[in-house]
Amino acid sequence: MAAAVSRGGALLALIAVRAAAQGPPAGSEWRAYGNDPGGSRFSPLARISVANVQQLRLAWVARTGDFMTDRGRFEATPLLVDGVLYVSTPLGSVVALDPATGAERWKYEGTVRFGYDDYGDFANRGVAAWRDGRGSGACAGRIFVATVAARLTALDARTGRPCESFGEHGHVDLTRGLRHQPEYHWEYGVTSPPLVVGDLVLVGSAVPDNHRVDAPEGVIRAFDVRSGAVRWRFDPIPRQPHDTGYETWIGPTAHNTGAANAWSIFSADPARDLVFIPVGSASPDFYGGERRGDNHFANSVVALRASTGRFVWAFQVVHHDLWDYDVPAQPVLFALRRGSDSIPAVAVATKMGHLFILDRRSGVPLFPVEERPVPTSDVPGEVASPTQPFPPSAFRLVPESLAAGDAFAVTDSMRAACRARIAALRYEGVFTPPSRRGTIIWPGNLGGMNWSGVSVDERRGIVIAPTNRLAMVVTLIPRDSLHAAHMAHPDLEFGRQAGTPYGMSRDHLGICTPPPWGTLTALDLSAGTVKWQVPLGAMPQLAQVPQSAAWGSFNLGGALLTASGLVFIAGTFDQHLRAFDVETGRELWSAALPAAGHALPMTYVAEGRQYVVVAAGGHDRLHTTMGDYVLAFTLAGPGAPVPDTTPGPLGGDYSGEMHIGDARFAMGLALRAAGDSFTASVSIDSVQIIGPVSARRSGRGVTVGFPLAYPAKRGCTATLTMTLQLWNGGRLLEGGGTFDGTCAERGHQDAAFVFRRRGRG
């Protein structure tokens, strides 16, 4: 009998091994940023449907431990690969979670140096995964993360340890080999996930556009996934006379221009050995007198041979960009059905709200594109392109006209001020060049689809596009007046644009811009028409104003589509995850989030249940609520997990950090139960505790306060108060607090605190 059990156990083990080798059921995981290599953001899962989505409930919450109160953008979309959920943070950390419970399996602590306030885009949108078909040892599965600190890291998918065989002990310094080296730490970095194609891992870069003409170049590089060696590189700016497009850069220094970088998400068609690169603007954004001509292949989607980096084709969405109109979104690959034909297509979303549909084999438009005359520049030395490409009207998803009479505000006096401001500025359409007078850029560099991109349901022939409408104001400033302008308007964004005659300032029109400020649009590809368009979200600041629910919200994140006909999207200022009916645009369900969810949601099946997961971390520049949350939702019912709200034992010893302003301090915390309350002791690197430490229970957590002195800032004192809660099964003690006194900037600062319990994994 024992032998029979043993044979049965061996048989079950063999079945389990074979099942693991075969992988999970098709569609049950989420293995790339947009689910598939082509970035459709579509899932074939249908357990959560139009009929039952109202039963969706929060299943679990995890926190990454990389909480910051005033900087960073947790924009990551987790991946589910081989039964593990992987998510990255702005600090370059990667956390592996159990997909059914949210329990932490491991965490790799990121190497991004904290303490800088000038990471232009302090973001991370996710990781990439690769599995070696040759073996099963250490690092046979790899997770790749690229960071704002310009580092590409390969981690063992099972343990989170860096793969020693990759680069230098698991890391590649992406600043090496650049034509134009960064002048400061954030002049070159990465904010979007790498792309894995075969045995190559591809990365682009994020480059500040308005610092100088010769900014770091936007080279795309492919690295060997095993060794980290460079296999190929492609520079979107032609540098040599024999390079394709060389003649479209005119001027003595034009071919030394920087940027034209690809900061957004790449896509791949492995069967055709193609990758699709969304390329941004050349530097600087708003004056192109040093780079006359159309400037190929800036502001283009570029198709390259994946295995070699060889140029195949390009389609330019803006000629000679003067508006910061990068190609901001992942090119989305899909099959366009026309009668009995199925055409391999790519959708290219833009900041202008223009959507171009191209044959991905050739770059030829599948819907008409017309070159239309656009306004000329009135700035000496500038030569704007006389025409720009326009898709059909249904594929232009945001308004393209704005007059003083269109000004919006919530009171008559504010509306009059808005009208006067608009009337004083130059605006003659979507491609009105920047000017010394001040030019309205509408829908603006945050407008259109931006990096939220579009999502495609091939079977239904529907494209879903979240859009923004936020008018910006750009003014060119003669160089000898730039400092005075900055002193006079310190609240505006300024750029030196070194190497040109002009600096620049940028502002926005805010709610002078007519609503809706954010929409969700469905485009019927068969009919070539808008199927529906609805306001997306709301602005909490205007909640008391009648009709404000119809005005929508500025948004960043993207939409998840499912085979059951659902659209899931977060990204709005009112901090909700929503579900819409893909056929009608009707909102079916929503759930409040603890922080703004500026990220693309994803979905998967674990232990027989479908989950929808979104990161909620806020946005420093949009001033939405910050956090480090990963939230999973599933249908209510027997066996459905629910978040653990039971107060856990707080007593114990913890080590962690305080994040305040641009400083990061190591801390120790010991809590001991004392009746219904606690006693506490605290240590902080470089800080003296100068009085008693108080501790009291606060709901599921504890509030700790004490006075301190900071010798490095002679003579200053402050009172620190922190309110902390247990998370992640009692492993993490995390929360926010205040720092008040002469040590604090302007007497008060907010702070973030993250502690891990000592002696627990």
Catalytic residue numbers? 324
Query: Which residues sit opposite 444 in a β-bridge?
Result: none
Q: Which of 391, 320, 407 is nearest to 356 (CA)?
A: 391
Q: Assign residue 177 a region (left: φ > 0; alpha: ψ between -120 and 50; beta: otherwise).
A: left
According to DSSP, residue 210 is labeled: T
Q: Which helix (H) or strand (E) holds 16?
A: helix 2-22
Q: CA 650 to CA 648: how far, in whole Å?
A: 6
Measured from the Cβ of residue 732, the count of other Cβ atoms closer than 10 Å reads 24
Measured from the Cβ of residue 305, the count of other Cβ atoms closer than 10 Å reads 15
Measured between alpha carbons, how far is residue 739 from residues 191, 403, 659, 745 in Å? 31, 46, 11, 9
User: Given the DSSP bridges, would you call strands 123-124 and 73-74 parallel, antiparallel or unpaired?
Assistant: parallel
Q: Assign residue 747 a region (left: φ > 0; alpha: ψ between -120 and 50; beta: otherwise).
A: left
According to DSSP, residue 55 is labeled: G
The residue type of 244 is: T
Length of the chain: 761
Token pair of 382 as six digits = 């500038």
Measured from the Cβ of residue 252, the count of other Cβ atoms closer than 10 Å reads 7
φ, ψ of residue 505 to 5 degrees: the values are: -125, 150
Q: Are 328 and 271 in contact (CB under 8 A)?
A: no
Sheet holding 472-478, edge to edge: 439-441, 472-478, 502-508, 493-495
Q: Are 515 and 550 in contact (CB under 8 A)?
A: yes
Q: Which of 19, 36, 45 is nearest to 609 (CA)?
A: 45
Place of tokens 């964004």: 493
Place of tokens 């994803």: 602
Q: CA 603 to CA 44: how far, in whole Å?
A: 10
Token pair of 656 as six digits = 């962690």
Angle (nearest 5°) at CA 703 between 698 and 707: 160
Q: Are 320 and 431 in contact (CB under 8 A)?
A: no
Q: CA 35 to CA 602: how far, in whole Å?
A: 8
Token pair of 710 as six digits = 């900071």
Place of tokens 């991905």: 360
Q: CA 710 to CA 713: how far, in whole Å?
A: 6
Q: CA 739 to CA 684: how far, in whole Å?
A: 14
HEC-encoded secondary structure of 588-647: EEEEECCCCCCCCCEEEEECCEEEEEEEECCECCCCCCCCCEEEEEEECCCCCCCCCCCC
For the chain, first and last CA: distance in Å?
Answer: 40
Q: Assign residue 665 a region (left: φ > 0; alpha: ψ between -120 and 50; beta: otherwise).
A: beta
Long-range pairs of 383-389 with CB within 8 A, sequence gap ≥ 24: 383/288, 383/289, 383/292, 383/320, 384/288, 384/320, 384/322, 384/431, 384/433, 385/294, 385/319, 385/320, 387/319, 388/318, 388/319, 388/431, 389/316, 389/317, 389/318, 389/319, 389/354, 389/356
